Amino acid sequence: NSQKKTHAERGCGARHAEIAGATEEQSRRHGRWNAQGTENNYLISLPRQSIWVINRLPAAGGQFWLPRASVTPSEDLQVKIFPLVDQVLSRVESGYTEGSEELSSSTYPKTICGQGFLLLLKKLRVIFCKIRFS
């Protein structure tokens, strides 16, 4: 409805301020909102600090570092996940149209969405390897 559209930016601004570290009081004074309206309509009601502590992160917040982020799995391991992605991607990029014994489709139209999807699968290979073997 129109009221949600009208207040979307106000809520977004209040949430960004909260995430950046502004207190609820500061957000309320900046937007000239009363306490109940700010809490009910604009701020995130999830207890962020307790979520951090449950997930073994410091309660103070800040920048978080995951050890697996610095490790890149070997290419041999990555290829085992979605093994035909590289082959299909090269065919989609070239607009391959001849038949193939390995793949059921004989045509690979050159489309941006097809290329984007296959590139996404290549990125997901790395993520899946990191999650599985960390």
| pLDDT one digit per residue (tens) for the chain, 134 residues | 666 666 666 666 667 777 777 776 666 656 555 556 555 555 556 666 766 777 777 777 677 677 777 888 999 999 999 999 999 999 999 887 765 555 555 678 889 999 999 999 999 999 998 888 76
> In sequence order, what are the residues at sequence separation of 6 or more whose Cβ sits closer than 8 angstroms to the Cβ of residue 111?
92
Structure confidence by residue, pLDDT tens digits, 28-44: 656 555 556 555 555 55
Q: Which amino acid is at 117?
A: F
Question: Residues for the chain: how many in total?
Answer: 134
63-77 confidence digits (pLDDT tens): 767 777 788 899 999
pTM: 0.49
Q: Which token pair is 67?
A: 């050890």
